[in-house]
């Protein structure tokens, strides 16, 4: 794992020293470079050509680039828009004798890069804790980010939970020169589909996935009982599968994992994962730069903890669900769009107030009532707290502050721009879900255990092709139908046709006792009132009903992760 940090505009060695110490859990930033107006550090050697690199970019020919080669590529480009870089990376490059600086990230945001711009300086670091350790960043909560987090389970970039701290947006280059910042959108996605048959799409998918697996340098594969990892194992028999066996309350995959490996003739290494503890919970929270309302953070922490004893680089199947229709939402939303032909939206709107106080019924009805508004309809279904629920949750002061900021709903107008609903949802995944939720969970938790994860399903050539596949070819009632069809000659039928199974949230036993104990210590009336954000009465209702109401359970997790983060970062 690698990391970078520094300050541009002034030479503050003490700030950089503090930043490197704060990020030592991610990587040892032993290498330094200083000049009249900057001080930087990296975990890799820094040459005369100043390029700080986190990750493994590659050029147009598919060959991996060194920091020096990335600098040469930038020097040869008159504008950032001429750059041809792919792969997972974040980089900071000095140009024109350090008068201009380019800060950049890959288009999926697989590597983090935070910034804070002061009156005459710019701070950057691979982790938020690095910026805060400098002593130059004030801890001010970003209220608009809180509102978006409670809607989308994460904070959509470039904003963060802290006012003034931002991400370098995925796929962009920021040019910092003489105290001014200029943004360039360099690497984007083409969401327009091309006509193609199921047969040709499956053949090309299999070919590109095989090439993507071959490019990975890891020799071990994190195994599950599903098709995602099985497909990777079938396409590269040299990958050694490793399965971490957790408490059955999280998931009961051991039997399926063994069966898949047996049917494929693979020797499966099975290692035990330990049970969750309060200490492990807090360590997982500390490894995240920002809260994400995803309970799978906890089992994923335990998986990586156990895996770290057997290696430091693993291939994973992450990204397959999002890109290839592993979730039912694509199919459901397309069917729902046709519902207004049979049940007029106006009639549904009139019925909503008379419906019983069941959250699912109300959510589904609101979605149908607003089906012609793609953004509102989708958010009615997937939001952790919908608009009305957030209004009930917020104090008058919070609601007033959001009103003054002009906030109140996530700024998805730049995401939901396509006439096709599935393209809009895919755009949301690519620009919000991947960089701020899925990859945050994978990258930050892996870094805390000294692990680098490689994701063949997120290979650039594969992603570009999958986005061009028509929705009726790519999605269906069964999860990942095209991947299952593509692997029909590579995988045994029982392995290929198994239903998708993710982590469950335990409803009893040791894990629930640990979570309830953490919640009692973390979500207290005193802490809730001190933030001035939420009404304690509404929070208390959520806490009491989380055990038997699936929507309240999601809201409970969002509040628990937020207050655990608040306690760790804001209270220090």
Q: What is the CATH number of the domain that holds 16?
A: 3.60.20.10
214 lies in the same domain as 272: yes
Looking at 150, 185, 220, which one is the last position of a domain? 185
Domain total of the chain: 2
147 lies in the same domain as 245: no
The pLDDT confidence band at residue 374, using thresholds 50, 70 and 90, is low
DSSP-assigned letters across all residues of 97-134: TTTEEEEEE-TT--S--EEEE-SS-EEEESSHHHHHHT
CB-side exposure of 46: number of CA atoms within 13 Å?
25
60 lies in the same domain as 37: yes
124 lies in the same domain as 231: no
Q: Please give the C-alpha separations between residue 173 and each of 102, 225, 538, in angstroms, as whole numbers.
A: 6, 40, 42
CB 151 within 8 A of CB 410: yes
Give the pLDDT score at 337.
52
**Structure tokens of 543?**
């806490």
Residue 113 within a domain: yes
Report the distance separating Cα 238 and Cα 235, nearest Å: 9
Radius of gyration of the chain (CA): 24
Q: Please give the C-alpha separations between residue 524 and each of 64, 507, 521, 527, in angstroms, as whole numbers.
A: 50, 22, 7, 5
Report the distance separating Cα 312 and Cα 309, nearest Å: 8
The pLDDT confidence band at residue 346, using thresholds 50, 70 and 90, is very low
pLDDT greater than 90 at residue 285: yes
Give the pLDDT score at 330.
60
Residue 385 within a domain: no
173 lies in the same domain as 203: no
More confident residue, 218 or 387: 218
**Structure tokens of 16?**
């950089």
CB 426 within 8 A of CB 191: yes
174 lies in the same domain as 227: no
Q: What is the CATH number of the domain that holds 219?
A: 3.40.50.620
Residue 398 within a domain: no
Residue 216 within a domain: yes
141 lies in the same domain as 275: no
Give the pLDDT score at 499.
79
CB 109 within 8 A of CB 157: yes
Pairing of strands 38-42, 31-35: antiparallel
Looking at 496, 520, 555, which one is the last position of a domain? 496
More confident residue, 476 or 123: 123
The pLDDT confidence band at residue 329, using thresholds 50, 70 and 90, is low
Whether omega before 192 lies within 30 degrees of 0, making that bond cis, reads: no
Give the pLDDT score at 556.
96
Looking at 185, 220, 253, which one is the last position of a domain? 185
Whether the predicted model's global pTM rises above the 0.85 cut:
yes
Report the distance separating Cα 350 and Cα 355, nearest Å: 10
Residue 141 within a domain: yes
The pLDDT confidence band at residue 20, using thresholds 50, 70 and 90, is very high
| 3-class SS string, 386-405 | CHHHHHHHECHHHHHHHHHH
pLDDT in tens, 109-122: 999 999 999 999 99
Residue 533 within a domain: no
pLDDT in tens, 149-168: 999 999 998 999 999 999 99
Average pLDDT score over residue span 474-494: 91
Q: Which range, 17-31, 409-423, 542-556, is most confident?
A: 17-31
- For residue 47, which phi and psi values (nearest 5 degrees)? -85, -170
**Structure tokens of 209?**
């996935």
Q: Please give the C-alpha separations between residue 33 and each of 10, 381, 485, in angstroms, as whole numbers.
A: 13, 50, 52
173 lies in the same domain as 314: no
257 lies in the same domain as 321: yes
Give the 3-state secondary structure of residue 333. helix
More confident residue, 348 or 407: 407
Residue 369 within a domain: no
Residues present in the chain in total: 572
150 lies in the same domain as 173: yes
pLDDT greater than 80 at residue 410: no
Q: The domain containing residue 305 runs over which residues?
A: 198-325+423-496
Provide CB contacts within 8 A for 63, sequence distance 6+: none
pLDDT in tens, 190-201: 988 999 999 999
Give the 3-state secondary structure of residue 451. coil
pLDDT in tens, 509-531: 888 899 999 999 999 999 999 99
40 lies in the same domain as 67: yes
Residue 349 within a domain: no
DSSP state of 341: G
22 lies in the same domain as 110: yes
């Amino acid at each position: 794992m690698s990391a970078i940090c520094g300050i541009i505009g002034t030479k503050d060695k003490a700030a950089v020293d503090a930043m490197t110490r704060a990020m030592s859990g991610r990587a040892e930033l032993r290498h330094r470079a200083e000049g009249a107006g900057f001080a930087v550090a990296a975990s890799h050697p820094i040459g005369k050509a100043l390029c700080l690199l986190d990750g493994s970019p590659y050029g147009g020919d598919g060959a991996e680039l060194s920091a020096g080669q990335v600098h040469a590529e930038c020097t040869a480009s008159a504008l950032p828009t001429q750059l041809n870089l792919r792969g997972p990376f974040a980089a900071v490059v000095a140009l024109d004798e350090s008068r201009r600086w380019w800060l950049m990230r890959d288009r999926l945001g697989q590597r983090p890069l935070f910034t804070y711009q002061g009156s005459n300086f710019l701070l950057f670091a691979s982790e938020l804790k690095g910026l805060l350790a400098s002593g130059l960043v004030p801890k001010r909560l970003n209220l608009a980010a809180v509102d978006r987090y409670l809607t989308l389970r994460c904070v959509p970039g470039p904003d963060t939970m802290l006012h003034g701290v931002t991400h370098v947006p995925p796929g962009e280059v920021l040019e910092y020169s003489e105290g001014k910042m200029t943004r360039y959108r360099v690497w984007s996605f083409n969401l327009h589909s091309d006509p193609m048959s199921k047969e040709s799409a499956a053949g090309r998918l299999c070919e590109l996935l095989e090439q993507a697996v071959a490019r990975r340098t890891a020799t071990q594969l994190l195994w599950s009982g599903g098709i995602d990892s099985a497909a990777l194992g079938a396409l590269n028999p040299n990958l050694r599968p490793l399965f971490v066996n957790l408490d059955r309350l999280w998931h009961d995959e051991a039997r399926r994992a063994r069966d898949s490996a047996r049917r494929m003739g693979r020797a499966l290494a099975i290692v035990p994962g330990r049970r969750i503890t309060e200490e492990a919970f807090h360590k997982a929270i500390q490894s995240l730069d920002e809260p994400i309302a995803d309970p799978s953070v906890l089992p994923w922490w335990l998986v990586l903890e156990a895996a770290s004893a057997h290696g430091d680089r693993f291939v994973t199947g992450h990204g397959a669900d999002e890109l290839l229709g592993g979730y039912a939402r694509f199919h459901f939303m397309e069917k729902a769009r046709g519902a207004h032909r049979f049940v007029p939206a106006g009639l549904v709107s009139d019925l909503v107030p008379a419906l019983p106080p069941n959250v699912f019924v109300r959510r589904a009805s609101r979605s149908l009532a607003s089906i012609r508004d793609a953004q509102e309809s989708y958010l009615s279904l997937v939001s952790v707290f919908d608009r009305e629920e957030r209004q009930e949750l917020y104090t008058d002061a919070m609601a007033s502050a959001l009103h003054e900021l002009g906030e109140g709903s996530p700024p998805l107008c730049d995401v939901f721009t396509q006439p096709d609903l599935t393209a809009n949802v895919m755009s949301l995944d690519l620009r919000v879900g991947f960089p701020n939720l899925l990859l945050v969970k994978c990258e930050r938790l892996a870094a805390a255990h000294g692990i680098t994860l490689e994701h063949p399903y997120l290979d650039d050539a594969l992603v570009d092709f999958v986005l061009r596949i028509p929705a009726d070819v790519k999605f269906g009632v069964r999860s990942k139908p095209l991947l299952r069809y593509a692997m029909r000659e590579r995988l045994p039928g029982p392995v290929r046709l198994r239903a998708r199974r993710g982590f469950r949230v335990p409803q009893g036993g040791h894990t629930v006792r640990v979570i309830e104990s953490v919640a009692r210590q973390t979500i207290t009336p005193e802490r809730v009132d001190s933030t001035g954000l939420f009404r304690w009465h509404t929070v208390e209702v959520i806490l009491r009903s989380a055990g038997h109401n699936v929507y309240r359970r999601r809201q409970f997790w969002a509040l628990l992760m937020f207050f655990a983060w608040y306690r760790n970062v804001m209270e220090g």
